[in-house]
Structure 1
């Protein structure tokens, strides 16, 4: 780095070096002409002394200027290499010339303006998130009332009225879909403050899965999806956020299986291992995912072929599930065969939960 900095320093002052050499050449030429006009007026050694003295003072001046500005170059180089951090204060302290001080003053003013605009943007974002959270909470109340009214209505409809029963079930399904959409919006808004809404404990994974399946019982019966749970496992995680992930996976499994005829199975396997942690696999018999869509299904707002054909996908569900798993230190992966089914696998590593902060930072930078 030092040689590169010196080379840049000399390159920037090339015009001064050339001018100094040109003046030395002119001086030597004048001495030679004068000596030719008046032979013996000056000795040849005098010319050598002149050249040596001029070169010495030229090099000395460049060396003093370089030593004086070396710290500025060093800190400027460090600031460039560490572009993710702000080093305006260091550059301001090490500036030497008036030009450098003006540039440092400009950088300082630009930094102040940037921080002011960033603070205003953050305040605006906080107000927006607060409004979204309040709106979601207000919308959940009428949805709960609608669900209760539908339950009362379905109990009062005679079993012979099949059309009325079907209509009530459809209204139930739409209300559930709206409720899940509001929940997704709520959890997405809370994702930026994930660490503030976190409670880690030893959790029975099999019980969490059963609760998720009970919440989807109506949809499973309506679309002839039979869930089967194999195994038990205890994991260290946040139960509420893990429920969000499982709700999204199970909901997708049912949504993309309902168009198939006959009975479909939803296979859930848990493998507990004290050394390698736990592995959860959820396999459906739905439409599957196109191979070219698999690398992008965890990207925000990506719907893929299935989402566009179904017309119900927002492209945020699997993104939210991936983000939650990453922040919890779990690994979410997918494998699928088009027309056969899809398997989502969550790997719970023993030390994965301690990667909470670093993994979340990596994911935010990747987006």
Structure 2
């Protein structure tokens, strides 16, 4: 800040120095003017100038220091009050722009909220004909066509479900309802919903639940498990998917292990990134890279952790770690 202060006033400083040099030059050239008293006056002027600069630096930079520390969070109250006309001009300009930005932020927030509400309403409306379509498919006699339509219906259903939860994600903390949940019926329901897809790919499930119950939110836990299962089915071929739960270090762990193509080691740190699919294979154009990202994002408010371990060309294991019971106090207090 001192460097900026001196740089801003360099013309005034140069002018002061030139005046002192000019006085010494006149005293040196004109023999009628005693040089020593003039030198003494210049010396005193320098001392007074140094004190003056120090005082003005502390006084004039107070406002600008507060600007430098300002977090640009549209809260102008944290900026020190202006004391000079130029500072008042800056403060007035910042306050005006801040108020304008606040108004625009409110308008954008309302627009986004309306768009979100409209999209969620549209999703719920689409679910009605989608349910009717599923009932029609169930009554079809041609098994081959029925299985194909069932698979395409499931894809649409999963995409709509993911979109719905993605929009709800912004207020997930207000949507939580913690209760003791039995894992078996929850997992079996998700497996049954994927039955058509699994039959088509000749995939089975090996379910081993040593830990039977957890404390969590039913809706969001089902969504997380759904994303892990659909990811496992997507990258598996004619093999069983292992689902097991166990207790370790007073925490319940739920693992979903598939024996598909695995994940490249360089991709593992990025599997939960938004929009990331794979650097090995790009033929699967249906992949959006959103499922695992949303699962990770939904797990955070529930104080759960999702980790992945994979062996390329052999298997991939996603582990969902539930918190200890007393750790939910932090979740409830959010």
Q: Secondary structure at the match of 2:276?
A: coil
Contact preservation (8 Å) 1:136, 1:186: yes
**TM-score after normalising by structure 2:** 0.89
Give the unaligned 5+ runs of structure 2. Answer: none
Larger radius of gyration: 1
2:21 to 19, 22, 25: 25
1:251 to 207, 214, 230: 230
- Counterpart of 1:202 in structure 2 is 180
Contact preservation (8 Å) 1:300, 1:319: yes
Alignment coverage as a number of residue pairs: 332
For 2:191 and 2:280, the matched residues in 1 are separated by 23
- Counterpart of 1:347 in structure 2 is 321
- Counterpart of 1:301 in structure 2 is 275
1:216-255 aligned at under 5 Å gives the runs 216-230=194-208, 231-255=210-234
Relative contact order higher in (CA < 8 Å, ≥ 6 apart): 2
2:284 to 297, 310, 315: 310
Structure 1 residues 142 and 307, CA gap change in structure 2 (3 angstroms) = farther
User: Is 1:190 paired with 2:168?
Assistant: yes
Cα deviation code 1:150-199 (max 9, x no counterpart): 2233xxx3xxxxxx111112212211221111111111111111112111
Q: Secondary structure at the match of 1:308?
A: coil
How far off its partner does 1:346 sit?
0.9
Structure 1 residues 14 and 317, CA gap change in structure 2 (3 angstroms) = same
**RMSD of aligned alpha carbons:** 2.6
Question: Which of 226-235 and 122-131 deviates more?
Answer: 226-235
Contact preservation (8 Å) 2:74, 2:102: no
Give the unaligned 5+ runs of structure 1. Answer: 158-163, 361-367
1:54 to 45, 53, 57: 45
Contact preservation (8 Å) 1:301, 1:315: yes
How far off its partner does 1:224 sit?
2.5
For 1:18 and 1:335, the matched residues in 2 are separated by 67
Cα deviation code 1:228-280 (max 9, x no counterpart): 222124322111101001111112222222xx35xx1111121114x441111
- Counterpart of 2:122 in structure 1 is 135
Q: Secondary structure at the match of 2:316?
A: strand
Structure showing the higher helix proportion among its residues: 1
For 1:78 and 1:306, the matched residues in 2 are separated by 46
How far off its partner does 1:7 sit?
4.2
Q: Secondary structure at the match of 2:211?
A: coil
User: Is 1:174 paired with 2:174?
Assistant: no
- Counterpart of 1:75 in structure 2 is 66
1:116-127 aligned at under 5 Å gives the runs 116-127=103-114
Contact preservation (8 Å) 2:273, 2:293: yes
2:246 to 250, 266, 271: 271
How far off its partner does 1:208 sit?
2.0
Contact preservation (8 Å) 1:271, 1:279: yes
For 1:256 and 1:42, the matched residues in 2 are separated by 97
**TM-score after normalising by structure 1:** 0.81
- Counterpart of 1:113 in structure 2 is 100
Contact preservation (8 Å) 2:24, 2:35: no
Q: Secondary structure at the match of 2:73?
A: coil
